[in-house]
Structure 1
């Protein structure tokens, strides 16, 4: 594949896939996402409005492209969701990808989803996906990777599928981990609004000597009752995976002990940890 290539950005969200692909010479020729707020953020940063619901878009209306990128909806397969898989309409979005691939026959596909996709329904869901791609004429390479192994201060395990059209006889191997030494504390703001701090009376630490013992421990305690969105972590380690649907007092980022106080992360800190550039904007 040449250093300059075209790609489409399906289920584009706010544009993380696009940032990565453009950084290696890709030119985006089409994008799509159902979420109005995601499309507004995408427009704010890339100056184009993605098309809406992909189920309403004919494959022939999408311009030719070399690579299809798609982080198709993960909620139906996520440990944090109800795991209904293909029974959930969102889980059927993979077949929208297959529909577009069948029409356009791009050189390559780059897909991403939660790691649990591989094990969902005893592995049957993932087998349907890989067999469908094979039937469409693609060699499928897949692997579960943790972002924290590649210089990101967040664990975030995801399964990545890299597929090449069989006639290209392309060779591919996933990159080796870099194991860079990063932690949440490397991305913190120096001045934070008081609203991000939590009432210390609500915080329970696992050990009473929290102020004197080492803070390198990954999980330190919880807020109110244990559970997602209520956990307290050290900033000297990488963060757990951020969860968009968490509704606890710490939100989807969980809480962190910073200079003796527990607080949530700010949007700017989350952006940095997720690998977005400083000039990336969030209008909504």
Structure 2
């Protein structure tokens, strides 16, 4: 043993390779898009020249490319054998079709009414799935296809009912709700991990970016993490429920109906403006101008 080697650096094994490019035992490290995303989103500042969501479509595609869809579908099918509600969920394959205009009929103090206000205040339309938008006849072919579809279709309700609001920092609560919810619900941690991979790669670099560049906003971020974890652990599997029946309910009644528990209302709008370097307030001004 070379005693001059620092203690923490001892034990390295050099592994020769004929490869002319980076190669490791991790498919995530090997993928250039995933590697670039984690590096960039961990270390960059929140510049106004780059929308917060700009890198996500390429990340989604990269992770879809490297995941083992056959294995995930097998694990989902295995869970359906012991979880009848999960089997019913995949058997029915319900797909939402409502539009922003459909939500206009709901009173302001209802889940549907509050969602409508958020959409119209920001001049957003509902995109229930990009694949359906491009091809109205598209249908999910596998259980994982359907899981991806419904995760996207119900995401805004994680914000609305999970107490997160719709500001930039508010994206954290839904991510941790889902991660903790999946690990609490599924008997197979491998499956929970597979379904949480995208969520983790979106969430965790953001936490580093917050601490190194915007430390004053960490307490606000931490509240979202804590809230999301608590809701995920304590709730029934709300992610299997339809959202249409709760549109006319108050948020409290809606949470009770879908089994969402432990929610704290977390308002981090002011902190989000600091974290986003003014993009939060600029977004609101732009929305008001569009009305």
TM-score, normalising length: structure 1:
0.28
From the two aligned structures, give the one with the greater strand fraction. 1
What TM-score do you get using the length of structure 2 for normalisation? 0.27
**Does 1 or 2 have the higher relative contact order (CA < 8 Å, sep 6+)?**
2
More helix by percentage:
2
